[in-house]
């Protein structure tokens, strides 16, 4: 990592065996690449990438890590793959991650996000070398009271749509397994992590504002906004990932001090409207326009939710690096540069290096 400020906790991953579930997804592909840059040996377990132009494919991750096509609902296969690899770290990210899709496929969403979650913890119980487990849920695990205060880790869980409810349920599973089975394992630390909407290069998921905006700009069409005044706590995908890695390293060294649930949200100035986001994307893209489209009759969408991250800040020493402007700038330029021919691997690695270097 020549010339890079390599944080202490990241150097811990050198030579370590790490399993990432959901490595073919948006967050998992960034995390897996980043871990390899820290010297980790990564095995990914998830469904194949959904699209040709997914970040996983664009950066050629299948040539950089070992990937197994596997379903988290398949306990037998997971047990075999995980046991054979015998990891020290697990980052569990695989999930049906879309709220709107969860209305169409509630059973699949619960089977994957709750049943798959149980399978990971069940298999993890039997892994002899395992030291550190990060279970990714969501800020949507909190019962959204549509109030102005940030949610703390001790706040009530709940969800009014299948996705949110599945993440709240996964949190209950996490608590049950942590207290019943992992507390007695002296060398194993386990945490659930709750982050909000993340943005960054290479996400092409349906129904997400950044990919939808970029697709519109590439076609020289207006960006359609359903809920322009909705506020969201925007953060770059690397922000929570940095938190997850930092926490995983702390769990490795002091498992009992850091086990539990953690929020990883952006700073206060990052809570902005969908309209603000679209305007900034247009400015860094270098042109484009916005059209406001109504959402009459659409499914319920929560209006306001942000996280209180005092615990991560004071106990872990984690804080976001990039403000809203930088976050949107780097995200938009990722799509623009890659669209104009820059190799995606070079672009992502460059952004990770500049983030790690504190730039
Ligand atoms: N992206 C966000 O803004 C955001 C916000 C909060 C929480 N999260 C959570 O972070 C995690 C990663 O999200 P993402 O944005 O990368 O999602 P994504 O949809 O891009 O990726 C999901 C990953 O899970 C895998 N997967 C889905 N169903 C599976 C199954 N049945 N078996 C095996 N693998 C399966 C997919 O193959 C893929 O690798 C998820 O747990 C998601 O709920 C994401």
- In this structure, the strands spanning 231-233 and 271-273 are antiparallel
Residue with the smallest CA separation from ligand 1 atom 32 is 71
pLDDT for res 232: 80
State which of 30, 95, 98 you would mutate to test the pocket of ligand 1, scoring each by most atoms of that ligand within 8 A of its C-beta. 95
Residue ranges covered by each domain of the chain? 13-200+234-267+301-323
98 Cα–ligand 1 center, Å: 8
pLDDT for res 296: 47
Distance CA(157)–CA(140), nearest Å, equals 9
Distance CA(345)–CA(263), nearest Å, equals 29
45 Cα–ligand 1 center, Å: 12
State which of 24, 25, 205 you would mutate to test the pocket of ligand 1, scoring each by most atoms of that ligand within 8 A of its C-beta. 25
Residue with the smallest CA separation from ligand 1 atom 22 is 25
97 Cα–ligand 1 center, Å: 5
Ligand 1 atom nearest residue 28's Cα: 16
Whether the CB-CB separation of 352 and 34 falls below 8 Å is answered with yes
Question: For the chain, first and last CA: distance in Å?
Answer: 15
132 Cα–ligand 1 center, Å: 20
Structure tokens at 76: 């037998």
Q: In terms of pTM, does the model score above 0.85?
A: yes
Ligand 1 atom nearest residue 208's Cα: 3
Whether the CB-CB separation of 22 and 28 falls below 8 Å is answered with yes
- Give which of 277, 186, 173, 154 is closest to 225, Cα–Cα: 277
2 Cα–ligand 1 center, Å: 32
Residues sharing a CB contact under 8 Å with residue 268, sequence separation 6 or more, in sequence order: none
The low-confidence residues of the chain, meaning pLDDT below 70, are 1-7, 294-304
pLDDT for res 310: 96
Instruction: Please state the φ and ψ torsions of residue 135, each to the nearest 5 degrees.
Output: -105, 115
Distances from the Cα of 34 to the Cαs of 30, 31, 195, 201, 323, in angstroms?
6, 5, 18, 14, 21
Question: Which residues have CB under 6 Å of ligand 1?
Answer: 22, 24-28, 46-47, 71-73, 93-97, 112, 116, 136, 138, 195-198, 205
In SS3 terms, 316-350 reads as HCCCCCCCHHHHHHHHHHHHHHHHCCCCHHHHHHH
State which of 94, 168, 239 you would mutate to test the pocket of ligand 1, scoring each by most atoms of that ligand within 8 A of its C-beta. 94
CATH architecture of 13-200+234-267+301-323: 3-Layer(aba) Sandwich (3.40)
């Amino acid at each position: 990592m020549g010339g890079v400020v390599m944080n202490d906790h990241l150097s811990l991953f050198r030579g370590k065996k790490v399993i990432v579930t959901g490595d073919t997804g948006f967050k998992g592909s960034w995390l897996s690449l980043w871990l390899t840059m820290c010297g980790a040996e990564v095995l990914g377990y998830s469904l194949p990438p959904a699209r040709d132009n997914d970040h996983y494919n664009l950066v050629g991750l299948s040539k950089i890590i070992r990937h197994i096509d596997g379903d988290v609902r398949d306990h037998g296969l997971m047990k075999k793959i995980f046991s054979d690899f015998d990891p020290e770290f697990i980052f569990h990210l695989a999930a049906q991650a879309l709220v709107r899709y969860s209305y169409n496929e509630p059973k699949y969403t619960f089977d994957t996000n709750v049943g798959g979650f149980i399978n990971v913890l069940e298999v993890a119980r039997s892994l002899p070398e395992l030291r550190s487990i990060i279970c990714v849920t969501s800020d949507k695990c909190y019962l959204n009271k549509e109030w102005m205060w940030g949610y703390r880790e001790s706040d009530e869980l709940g969800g009014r749509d299948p996705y949110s409810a599945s993440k709240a349920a996964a949190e209950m599973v996490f608590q049950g397994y942590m207290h019943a089975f992992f507390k007695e394992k002296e060398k194993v630390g386990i945490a659930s992590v709750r982050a909000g909407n993340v943005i960054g290069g290479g996400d092409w998921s349906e129904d997400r504002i950044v990919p939808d905006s970029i697709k519109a700009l590439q076609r020289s069409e207006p960006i359609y906004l359903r809920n322009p005044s909705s506020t969201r706590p925007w953060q770059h995908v690397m922000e929570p990932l940095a938190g997850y890695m930092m926490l995983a390293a702390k769990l490795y060294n002091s498992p009992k001090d850091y086990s539990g649930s953690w929020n990883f949200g952006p700073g206060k100035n990052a809570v902005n409207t969908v309209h603000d986001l679209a305007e900034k994307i247009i400015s860094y893209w270098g042109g484009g326009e916005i059209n406001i489209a109504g959402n009459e009759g659409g499914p319920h969408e929560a209006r306001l939710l942000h996280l209180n991250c005092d615990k991560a800040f004071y106990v872990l020493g984690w804080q976001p690096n990039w403000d809203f402007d930088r976050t949107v700038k780097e995200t938009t330029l990722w799509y623009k540069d890659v669209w104009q021919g820059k190799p995606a691997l070079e672009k992502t690695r460059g952004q990770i290096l500049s983030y790690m270097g504190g730039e």
